[in-house]
Amino acid sequence: MNDFLHWATVAAYLAGTALYLAFVAAQRDGLRRVGGAVLWLGLGLHTAGLATAWWELGVVPALNLGQSLALLSWALMAATLVANLRLEIMVMGALSGPICTMLLLAGNWLPAPVGQPGPVFKSVWLGVHVFGLLGGYGLLLLACLAGLMYLRQERALRSKRLGPLFQRLPSLSRLDQFGHWTMVSGFTLMTVGLVGGAIFAHGVMGSFLRGTPKEVCALVTWLAYAAVIHTRLVQGWRGRRGAWLMVAAFGLVLFTFVGAGLLFNDYHSFESIIKFTGAVS
């Protein structure tokens, strides 16, 4: 990612976060509007940076952990702003902004991928796989944040220790609705990403699945979210239980995305992915 665009994006995310925090403290709607505009500006700069990196590489810039973190940061901010247009949970900008900034900084700090990507990386289905999964992960992280906020507020209500900040946060019902909407949307995008990856794998390796540890982890994560959504829709597990499930399920996302990519040595690992040519023994 271009250095200027990288640091301009970081500055915009930090400024937008500060404005959202000021809005939470002062409850002045002008601060929220300006903060939202600054975060949209940051997302635009971030998009331009990723597009520039894509143009320079000729492939989707997700060839190592650092680039993948930058894409996840973009996905989380895009999910936050788009979800806000629908459900207006204003405080989410104050939570997502610092996380997006840390992901960007971590991605920039990690070493760049060594070597040139092969022609297999130019597949459209690989783009569907990457953007589907990372877009889904961004929405699922947002659902996790909503679950954590729900649990924090529910605990404050039960203990009757509300404090001055409590009145400035969204209600439990709105948080539950926000978490459900972002989780279902994230699950849908994750499904698209997995299907895109399977089609890509079949095209370059002749099989939809190879049974690698990361593929197994991804399927387990998909099944876990399918079960969580089922319990909400069929068994009515909303509220506190639903919030705990959203938080716990995202632990599987973290392990699949980061842990499996670092711990297991196969063509999905962050160390080996750039060397992938489509030939797998």
Q: Each residue of 183-230: pLDDT tens digit?
A: 999 999 999 999 998 898 888 777 777 767 788 888 999 999 999 999
Biggest alpha carbon–alpha carbon distance for the chain: 61
pLDDT at res. 12:
95
DSSP letter for each residue of 230-257? HHHHTS---HHHHHHHHHHHHHHHHIII
Q: Is the pTM of this model over 0.85?
A: yes
For 150, other C-beta atoms within 10 Å of its C-beta total: 27
Q: Please give the Cα distance from 176 to 74 (Å, whole number).
A: 24
Report whether pLDDT(272) > 60. Answer: no
Q: Average per-residue pLDDT in the chain?
A: 84
